[in-house]
Structure 1
Amino acid sequence: MSRTLLDEHDLVLFDLDGTVYRGSELVPGALEAIRQVKHDRAAVRYVTNNASKPDHEVAGHLRGLGLPAASDEVSTSAQAAAGMLSEALPGGSRVLVVGSPALAAEVEHVGLRPVREYAQQPDAVVQGHSTETAWWNLAEACLAIRGGAAWVASNTDRTLPTERGELPGNGAMVAALQAATGRSPAVAGKPERPLLDRAVASAAASAPLMVGDRLDTDIAGGVRTGIPTLLVLTGVSTAQELLSADTSMRPDHVAADLGALHLPGAESRIQENSAWQVTVEDDRLRLSGSGDPLAALRALCAVWWAAGGGSPVLQPEDADAEQVLEKLNIR
């Protein structure tokens, strides 16, 4: 039997929002795929940019959805942000928290003192997603940042996938403070390295795989950290965005869902294949052939990226190619 994609790795780093679940709903196929990963005894880390919940609550939420999950298998951007601050500040330093009680607890856990007001003379600001963040929280942080406080953001995700659709994420709130202060934060979560480095180290892994639904965070984070990546088309990023992606966010594999972990790696790897003929002529990306739409997408990416990439002009050469491009919503 052919080696699966999972067989090539000793750790799978799963993004959560848009990859494993959307709010309170599992992504189709996620339950079976992750249970099989655990059955095959590969290490798992649930790696989330969302800093609003502690690791034990995230693990509890996953178990409530039927997934196998322990607290020590959860790596959050709140943990990574607190770790960054603990390395930069003396013990007992005051940190103004813009975010959830879980973020404040992580700050306290590393020996720093969480505060909520500028009048408490914070040495740093840490900012993470919370549905309770209000104007006054941003105002306190604005004063601290303008006053010279260090600033760490758990992540800069502009949106957060939910069962209702994409809603404002921590990055939207970070952007407000950037506009108000003229400064930018150090970032703990994907696509920066701290969160992924922490997760890999916790598993003592030598061959990790990053799996996610967002090119700009999950895949870019893997590329920046030197980790092979699998993009699943179950969340934010689209086939159109994948084809146009620059080198900083190009995955090694792309698949419809997490089931690709248990198939041969060649089936999801971005490469040319005999079923689809792809050429670049007269600044147009031409496609002909028949078969699996995702195989066509992988072939298109392989040829287009080798030619330099950018925003292509697609030219279907036959009816099958035209139908596939419509299914992929690539224009």
Structure 2
Amino acid sequence: MLAGMYPRVRDACENCHSRKIRCILEPGSIACRSCSSNGTSCLFAPRAKAGRPRRTHLESHQRRKSSSNQAVEKTYKTANEIGHTRTNADTLLMVADDMHFGPIIPFDTFWDNGKTTNVEHFGNVGFLTNDHSIIQEGHIVETAMAETVEQDQTQQDCAFGAGTPSRSSTPPRYDMHTLVDEGFDFDTALRLCGDLDRSHRAFRDGRTEATQFEGIMRTVEYACTTARMSISSASAERASIHALMVAAMYKVFDVCESIIREILSSNNGFKQDTLDRLFRLQRLDFVLFQGFMFLHHAGQTDAMRKISELHTWILSILQEEEYKNLW
């Protein structure tokens, strides 16, 4: 009963609060019973509520950011301890999703310019796997990519090489879904190098028509995709094919440089709107990303530097176009 009649210790005056005694204030009195008997002044001061104080918005944001960083560091540490990182299929699937949902945003999350342009760090590229294993789940990425490409095609039956084929001949077609161990032999690799070489000569001589552009793009895509998938094929009989794929990648550089110039040219027969042009550039950037993975595995430092320069060129174009769209 008495506890309900008098204030709690938490509401006591300063003297009673410091002495941790009950502060009893008589009705009509200006000082509590303890201060009156001691002859001291009875002062009350506001104090914070009991319990933990509430965090401010800035403190909450910093706490969440710190927790997120700790979680990321823990994830990377765990991945390194068990000896592997994210698989190529998972990485490429994220790239494909990024390309589909953000048609103007380049793949800088995976293309780290600070790493790809510095030869000393080629062995530590974060998005590459440590064991270079390629699993068949990568087929999902090629399927999704092919469906996106089909929407962009304007001429389905165009030539898949640079030379103008005769109407009676069937142009060579490259199937990205065919795995390396399912029919990709030395003759196919040799023919691929020849088609890439003819494509580059056609661009150089100005003989490329609008109907052939999509075919050349598919040839480049097939070359880089096949090269990436060939990483898992390390048998002795594949050594000659591996050497041809390295040669094919050098030809891809020349063709890609010509494709970029052709896309930017205002005097070509297949000039498209800005969004279509950006899509073609990102499509090419995705292909170069796969080629970079193969070259890293093959230890081709000069080629890696060249492919990084092409990516930097594409990135500068995308950023410039995005800046123009803002205005």
Decide: shared fold, TM above 0.5: no
Structure number with larger C-alpha Rg = 2
**Larger strand share, 1 or 2:** 1
Give 1 or 2: higher helix fraction.
2
TM-score w.r.t. length of structure 2:
0.27
